[in-house]
Structure formats: structure tokens, C-alpha cells
A and B are shown apart, each in its own frame.
Chain A
Amino acid sequence: MAAGLKTVILLSFVLAVGFLLIILSCALWANWLPLLVALTFVLAPLPNALFAHCGGDEFSAHESTAAVDLGRFITATIVVTGFALPVVLTHSEVIKPAACVMSIIGGGLVYSTIMAYTAAFRQDYSEFD
């Protein structure tokens, strides 16, 4: 499957660039607090993935149980945390503004890679539902 292979290579490239930006934002100023951003964005899709299987059965299109809602709520909270953390650290002069910008861009790249990966490969195994 050639298209899938290209997608995988592109996504892994973007993921590597994202992690590179985050690690540079830490290492250039020898202050490793922005590394928390990477951890946050890696953890962000986890609640959705965990609670997605607690939805309704296959006959009702509801998917609106409390567990699914809780997963979405926690996911949104973690994503906003990932963007807010460098800004707060910059505001109290713990990290430099350039490190803040780099870690936000890197975290956004990592998170969008994860999202694009799940969106691109969801089609493949819902064919057999």
C-alpha cells in the first residue's frame, strides 16, 4: 500500500521535527521544564482512546454515555494545559519567550501527528465492522 507508506514516512518525519523543536527549546537554555509539554501532548489522546469503547452498542448512534463525555472533557483539558504551560512559565520568567514559542510549535506538531495518524488509519479497520 504505497499511499499508506508515504503517509507513515511523512508523519514520522513531522513527529521527529516536533520532538526536535521541544528538545531544542529545553537544551538551548539548559532548562528542561518545557519537556513537560511533550509529555502532556503525548498523554492528550489517551483519555479519548480509553473511554471510546465505553460508548453505546452498535445499534444506537448515541455514543453519548457519561464515560465518553468524561474522556472528551479530560482530553480538551490536557490539550489546553499543553498550550498554557509554556505561556505560564514564560510569564513568570522561568523560561525564555523563544523557548515558549518553540515548545508550543513542537507540541502542536506532535499532537497533530497523533491526530492525523488516527484519522488516516481509522478507515482501514472500520471496513470490517
Chain B
Amino acid sequence: MSFPRSSYDPRRVCLNPFPEFNLGKHRRTIGIYLAGALFALANWTFLDAAILSAHAHPPYDEPQIPPPVHVAFVDWVPGICSLLGMLIINLIDKDRIKGDDGFGDPGAVWRARLFLFIGFAFMAGGLAGSVSLLVLKYIMHDYPEQYTYYGYANVSQNVALMLSAVVLWIAQSVHEEYDYQLSL
């Protein structure tokens, strides 16, 4: 009994399938604009919570009770992790990861995959950290909805950062047909 010959390197554990997107001419541009918009939206969602926390005032019917919770440095950490992960992912040359080690030293492919892994680990860590922050800091203490909003904003910041990274990745691995424009 023999296994059929696989189309990939069987020594590899992780396969990144690189779907061959063959989209229209402007899809790449639209994808990059969309990624930038998502990036800004993510950061403004969190900054909204931070500014809201800085301007928080006690409820009008009980003016002597101060706001029970504020956005502290802990809330910034998941976003910073996601940002670092996005930066690392986007600094990697996409052709290196595909493993066409025809040129250069073969160690470069391995190193590129390692850094890609670290980048994705940072992003996933940021997302998980924001969810655990939401649960541990806001939901467990039964704050009113006005204050749990800080935690939800944090989670949506990290989700949007991850979406932005995914959109950017897909947009940049679109294969455009190599056509010449000979203007005579």
C-alpha cells in the first residue's frame, strides 16, 4: 500500500494554503483601503473608551459616588500586543513563506515562518487578553453597562485589528496578471 504523492512538502507541519485569489484589477487597492479603514476604526473604538473614561462623571442622581472603574494601562496592553503582531506579520516578505527556496539560503524560509508564527501569536494573544480583561475586570464586578462598555470596546478593537491584518494579507497576496502597457 502506498500513499498518493502529496502536492506539498510532507515534512511541513503547518500549511498556509495561500488561496489563489484572482480578483479584478482594483481589488488590491480596495482591500488596502479597507484594511486602513478597519485599522483606524479599531484604534478609535478603544480611544473612544479611553476618552470617555477620562471624562466620566458620577451619575446625576447620586453625585457623591465616583465612577467605580477607569481605563488603566492594563486596558492598553492587548491593543499594543495586536499592533506589534500586525507589524511583525506585515514586515515579512510573502514570497519567503511560500517556501520556494530556489534562491537565498534555506534557513531564511524557516526564520520567516518562525517570525510569522510569533506575529500571529501576538495577535491571538491580544485578542485573548482583551476577552479575559473584559471578563475579569468588567463582567465579574457587575458594573453598570456604562462601564462594561470599556471592555467591549477593547474586544472590538482587537477583533477589528485582526480583521484588518487579514484583509491586508489577502489584498497583498492577490496575483495580478503580469500585463504590459506599451504606450506607443
Contact = CB atoms under 8 A, between A and B. Distances in A.
Given A72-B29, A88-B47, A88-B48, A80 B36 contact: yes
Contacts of A89: 51
Interface of B: 28-29, 32-37, 39-41, 44, 47-48, 51-52, 54-55, 168, 172, 176, 178-183
B40 A81 contact: yes
A121 B9 CA distance: 53
A124 interface: no
Given A61-B179, A72-B33, A73-B35, 20 more contacts: A58-B183, A60-B180, A61-B180, A62-B176, A69-B32, A73-B33, A73-B39, A73-B168, A75-B36, A76-B32, A76-B36, A77-B36, A77-B39, A80-B36, A81-B40, A81-B44, A88-B44, A88-B47, A91-B48, A94-B51
B40 to A, nearest CB: 4
Contacts of B47: 88
Please report whether the interface of chain B is mostly helix, strand, loop or mixed according to DSSP. helix
A118 interface: no
A85 B182 CA distance: 45
Interface of A: 58-62, 64, 69, 72-81, 84-85, 87-89, 91-94, 129
Contact of A73 (B36, B41, B178): B36
Q: Is the interface of A mostly helix, strand, loop or mixed?
A: helix
B178 to A, nearest CB: 7
Given A58-B183, A61-B180, A88-B47, A76 B37 contact: yes
B180 A75 contact: no
Contacts of B37: 76-77, 79-80
Nearest to B57: A93
Contacts of B182: 59
B48 A92 contact: yes
A92 B49 CA distance: 9
A122 to B, nearest CB: 16
B32 A93 contact: no
- Most central of B32, B48, B54, B183 by chain A CB within 10 Å: B32
B41 A84 contact: yes
Contacts of A58: 181, 183
A94 B44 contact: no
Contact of B44 (A61, A62, A80, A93): A80
A72 B29 CA distance: 8
Contacts of B44: 80-81, 84-85, 88
B36 A74 contact: yes
A91 B48 CA distance: 8
A72 B54 CA distance: 32
Nearest to A71: B32
